[in-house]
Amino acid sequence: AQSVTQLDSHVSVSEGTPVLLRCNYSSSYSPSLFWYVQHPNKGLQLLLKYTSAATLVKGINGFEAEFKKSETSFHLTKPSAHMSDAAEYFCVVSDQGGSQGNLIFGKGTKLSVKP
Amino acid sequence: NAGVMQNPRHLVRRRGQEARLRCSPMKGHSHVYWYRQLPEEGLKFMVYLQKENIIDESGMPKERFSAEFPKEGPSILRIQQVVRGDSAAYFCASSPTGTGTNQPQHFGDGTRLSIL
């Protein structure tokens, strides 16, 4: 069965410093992986996706993630945090061997950015 | 160029009443997905529909919950005889026709359901 583990429920960084949000996955098949961001009382916005092409994926707002099969990881990074990055981030796996509709969400990581 | 539209944004119901949540997918999208987000948790898949068909309802509670996506009009998530535990944010997402599992889903802003 597929699953997603976000290792930190809360990450706090200072503005201008790097961001690292960690995600490990478990999947029986070749997974598709996504990172979504959720601002308070809003829906989810897609940051980036991995679908078995390049292992380093660039997304919007300066975020990127690297797929590492040997470590079953898909960590999200950004070189320099901005105040507007404060939000909740979800790592998501979609198992190509399973239902087309079934996205599996991690529990989320809340990112705080201090001035 | 509207995104996924959900209404109402907030819904308050008393125990035992019915709740109806609506979702209009993005233009050109015929696949709709419903998720539930409980406080301090990630989203949990409920149901996946295409026009007039339920494709996967493995995440739907066995009783009181139903979903439809008619040929015309929005998708409806219906909760009968609501209980306190139904209080949550309900999100709808859509994706294009004929998508595979590597196509991203586009999410609405959600409906916050509160049960008194």
The answer to whether residues A43 and B110 touch, using CB atoms and an 8 Å cutoff, is: yes
A46-72 per-position pLDDT tens digit: 999 887 778 899 999 999 999 998 999
Domains and CATH numbers, chain A: 3-114 (2.60.40.10)
Give me the residues of A, 85-114, that contact B with CB < 8 A: 90, 94-96, 98-108
Tell me if chain B has a CB within 8 Å of the CB of A49: yes
Of residues A90, A96, A101, nearest to B45 (C-beta):
A101
pLDDT grade, residue A96 (50/70/90)?
low
Of residues B40, B55, B109, nearest to A101 (C-beta):
B55
Query: Residue B40 class from Cβ within 10 Å (0-12 exposed, 13-18 middle, 19+ buried)?
Result: exposed
Q: Which residues pair with A31 in a beta bridge?
A: A95
Determine the pLDDT at residue B102. Answer: 58
Determine the pLDDT at residue B103. Answer: 67
The answer to whether residues B104 and B93 touch, using CB atoms and an 8 Å cutoff, is: no
CA proximity to A105, closest of B92, B36, B57, B75: B36
- Find the mean pLDDT for residues A12-27: 95
CB within 8 A of A100, min separation 6: which ones? B31, B48, B55, B56, B99, B100, B101
Determine the pLDDT at residue B99. Answer: 46
pLDDT grade, residue A75 (50/70/90)?
very high
Determine the pLDDT at residue A58. Answer: 94
B43-101 per-position pLDDT tens digit: 899 999 998 899 889 899 999 999 999 999 999 999 999 999 999 999 999 988 644 55
